[in-house]
Chain A
Amino acid sequence: MKRPNMDRDTAEANVIELASLARNVLTGANDDQLVQGERAIRRRLSDAKRPRTPMALRVAAIGLLCSTVLAVGLYWQRSTERSLLSYRIENGSIGADQTIVANGAQSPRMRFSDGTEIKLQPNTTARVRYLSDRGAALALEAGQLHAEIVHSSHSEWRFDAGPYVIQVTGTVFDVSWEPDPDRFELKLQHGSVTVHAPISNGPIPVRAGQWLTIRSRSNEITIRDLTTLNPSAPHGAPVASLNEDPDLAPTTTAGPFVAPTTLPSHEPVASESWIKALRLGHLD
């Protein structure tokens, strides 16, 4: 609150007057304060002159610490980073078009650095599409192969057989693919895989002991029990031509059964009477 009868010049003059008062009152240190200050300065300066750890030693210690931190960091980085899988081929070699070529009549065998083994049957054409730190992708262009995939928590293997894709984490299976007459077969000994097929809207799960046969041209997806393996008649079995019927979930029954798949919308859809007949087992 300003006094009404006081202008700004007066206020500034008052400030100067207060400053003069401060100058008169605050006259500095007395003798005792100066003597005590002198003692304190002596003590502080002598403390500062105490021998300290030599600079070179301190630098060396800091360098050692930094080196240790760096070494631990590098070790940690290397221990966490995974290198790409590698492989070698027995009884075979890599051809000009990157396909695996058999040496003579023997079957080529691929041994990967994670322990996985893949054996190609005679007259099989396959190639490694890519390698990763978790697995590899192989393309089976025609023929048959036997795979023993070593399972680990992070393994990712993929097999492309024509239009079919098998995704694997760890398992043992045989797969064959013949472009003509378009026959895909998967016999799964251990583990589980999923197969992506062009005639299926979703992945087809296959469990251990199952035998999957797919014929895209005739919209056939068949899963059988391996114990009923009959090489002469796997493909005359009932045809899976279903349209999203949850009751037809995969089961491992003896004999042929239908896989849980649906046809794409542009494919011919089976009639309900056919599905009913299938449930009752009246098909031959």
Chain B
Amino acid sequence: MSSPQVQLTLVSKTQTCLPTDRVLVDGLLAGDADAAVLNYRKFAPQVFRIVQRSMGPTGDAEDITQDIFCAFHSRVRSLRDPDALSSFVLSVALRVIKWQLRRRRVRRILHFSVDGQVPDSWASSDDVENRQALMRLYHGLDRLPANERTVFVLKHIEGMDLQEIADAEGTSLSTVKRRLRRAHSQLASTVGFGPEGEHCP
């Protein structure tokens, strides 16, 4: 069954009126290059933010976001329901993020670790306290498994509800709750008692 040919017109950002998911999917399936760009424009802000919040201070959010959209384009033909485009993008993003987190964990174990410092762009230089608090939080998140970490980030930093997270993760609601509980418990032990804890920098 061939997809209907849809002609999408790329307009400047100020005039952007992003198409619906269904139209985008039709364009993507037809191989329309503009559809790929429009898809990026529509979802990149959210994806970038989730990447940034999930990976923490040492994450290379821009490169990982590009990887996510490339992975999305290679898998878009497996999307069956055009209305589920948003969930599909998010699920691809989470898969890539988890893979990156696991890779980083292995690199850390093998002593190829990144330095764990928060870049200057994250917080203004005069806000030293916030900077240190963020470092403490991500130091604790670095100790969590990728599944627990992403659930915590999506719930408490990204502000998604549990059912949305379960859909994006492709797991049950109870699994999400269990992971969130474990993340809470471990983070409370490692960073919840403040900067004087032994795990805090």
Contacts and interface: CB of A to CB of B under 8 A. Distances in A.
Bound together: yes
Interface of A: 1-3, 6, 8, 10-16, 18-23, 25-29, 33-34, 36-38, 40-42, 44-46, 48
Interface residues of B, number: 45
B157 A37 contact: no
B40 A18 contact: no
Given A41-B40, A41-B66, A19 B48 contact: no
A45 B197 contact: no
Interface of B: 33, 36-37, 40-41, 44-46, 48-49, 52-53, 61-62, 65-66, 69-70, 73-74, 122-123, 130, 133-134, 136-138, 140, 152, 156-159, 184, 187-189, 191-194, 196-198
A21 B49 contact: no
A35 to B, nearest CB: 8
B69 A41 contact: yes
B197 A15 contact: no
Contact of B137 (A8, A22, A41): A22
A22 B192 contact: no
Nearest to A23: B157
Contacts of B41: 34, 38
For the complex of A and B, 10 pairs with smallest distance between CB atoms: A11-B192, A28-B49, A19-B156, A29-B48, A11-B188, A18-B137, A12-B188, A15-B187, A14-B192, A15-B192
24 contacts: A2-B197, A3-B194, A6-B193, A12-B188, A14-B193, A14-B194, A15-B156, A18-B136, A21-B137, A22-B53, A23-B159, A26-B53, A27-B49, A28-B46, A33-B62, A34-B44, A34-B48, A37-B40, A37-B62, A37-B65, A40-B66, A41-B40, A41-B66, A45-B73
A30 to B, nearest CB: 9
Contacts of B133: 18, 21
A28 B49 CA distance: 4
A48 B70 contact: yes
Nearest to B70: A44
Contacts of A37: 40, 44, 48, 62, 65-66
B53 A23 contact: yes
Given A19-B137, A26-B53, A33 B37 contact: no
Contacts of A48: 70, 73-74
Contact of A12 (B48, B49, B192): B192
A37 to B, nearest CB: 6
B196 A3 contact: yes
